[in-house]
Structure formats: C-alpha cells, structure tokens
Copies of this chain bind each other. A is one copy, B any other.
Amino acid sequence: MIKLILTDLDGTLTEDRGVYKVDLEAIEAIRRAQEAGIKVALVSGNSYPVLRGLYNYLGLNGGLVAENGCVVFYGKERLEVCKRMDREILEEFRQRFKLKDSWQNEFRCCDFGFTPAVLNEEMLKWAEDRGVYVNSSGYAVHVAMKPAGKGVGVRKLIELHGVRRDEVAALGDSMTDLEMFQEVGLKVAVGNADEKLKENADVVLNLKSGKGVKEFISSLLDDGTWN
C-alpha cells in the first residue's frame, strides 16, 4: 500500500524534459492522490525557497527535499542534511570549468547548480580527486560535498514520515533520481526518462513527464495497481 509519493520536478512534473512549464493535469492528479489520503513530496535539485514556494502554491502536503538531497522540509521543520559547500572548492570548480552559475546559487547552502547541464570526464575526475559529489539532472550540473545526492534527503524525509520503504513510490526522469530510487519500494520512471533510469525502474510509464505522473496516479487510485 503506497502511503507516500516522492516526485522529482524538472522533467517529471513538467510538460516535457528540458522545459519548465508544469503539467497542470499532473498537479490535478497529485491533488486527487492527496485527497485520497496519499502524501506527496517534491524531491528536486532546486533551491529551498523555489521549492517551498511551489510546494505551498501547488498545494502539496508530504514535505520536500531541496538542493538535490541536502535540504529537507516537512511539517514546520527545515533541516540541512549535507555539509555546507566548501567555498574554496566551489571557486576552484568555477575557475576550472567556466560554467554558468544558476540564478538560484545565492539562495543555496550546500548543493550548487551550473549550466550547461553536461558532465564530462574531466569533471568526474576532478570530483573524484577531491571527494566531491557531481551529477547532472539534465537541467543543471550539481556540485556538493559528500555525502550528497537525493538519497540522503529522501532517507531523512521517509524517517520523518515514519513509513516503511515499501510504502513509498518515487517518480523520476534523470540519473539524479537513481539515488532516490535506491531508497524506496516502488521505482517509477516516466516514459521519456534516461534509458539507464528505466533499467533501474520497477515500472516504466507509457507517457512522458507530467502525463506519465497522471498515468501513474490514475493506475494507483482507479485501478488499484501496486496496492
């Protein structure tokens, strides 16, 4: 029985991958799931204020994980669950790879975003040498102190909910969602997800991004699938 749905935002709740517009039918479906007693949480690489604003105004109730796993909010509590970013290492990353800072970086504590969202071998090697976390969501390259990644925040959020992992479903589209998948019972990839995420999913939806989210919630509520 699914009691908590964790959903990624970029590429998952949006109308497609690479676009920002949220799919309104996906939001409607989420509200319907909540009315049926299932909690829904956002798990995203976005900064806390951006995600908290969306959380409030979209009307979600299951809390949120921001900064790609580093900041958790549920009820009235906001927690930082990663180390704060080392400013020297961050500056070195900036100097070396010359990526563009996300406009949200001034509102972040732990996980920083850069575009274009393309990881290369040199970046991976640099991160490994320094013991730093790097990953790409398809919207941004994320840099943080280890341990980081969505798994860290998701573990904390599930603990705050007091549910078992087999009572939790996670929806995602990109490789940053793999770390979230490892923490939950039901791993769901939208139809247009990265191939490697699909290989690690229990369910691959037919429809892309937000329409896939709607498809999943309809199966769950109306057909009783996975319950």
Contact = CB atoms under 8 A, between A and B. Distances in A.
A9 B53 CA distance: 12
Contacts of A54: 53-54, 57
Contact of A53 (B27, B31, B46): B46
A51 interface: yes
Interface range on chain A: under 10, 10 to 19, 20 to 34, or 35 or more? 20 to 34
A95 interface: no
A103 B51 CA distance: 13
Interface in A59-112: 59, 78, 103-104, 107
Interface stretch (A18-26, A175-183, A192-200, A217-225): A18-26
A67 to B, nearest CB: 13
A56 B51 CA distance: 12
Instruction: State how many copies of this chain the complex holds.
Output: 2
Contacts of A20: 56-57, 59
A50 B54 CA distance: 8
Contacts of A1: none
A69 to B, nearest CB: 18
A47 interface: yes
B21 A24 contact: no
Interface in A91-150: 103-104, 107
Given A24-B28, A46-B53, A50-B50, 20 more contacts: A9-B57, A14-B57, A20-B56, A20-B57, A20-B59, A21-B57, A21-B58, A21-B59, A22-B59, A24-B27, A47-B49, A49-B50, A49-B104, A50-B52, A52-B103, A53-B53, A53-B54, A54-B54, A78-B103, A107-B107
Listed from nearest, the 10 A-B pairs whose CB atoms lie closest are A50-B53, A21-B59, A49-B49, A20-B56, A22-B57, A49-B107, A53-B53, A24-B24, A49-B50, A20-B57
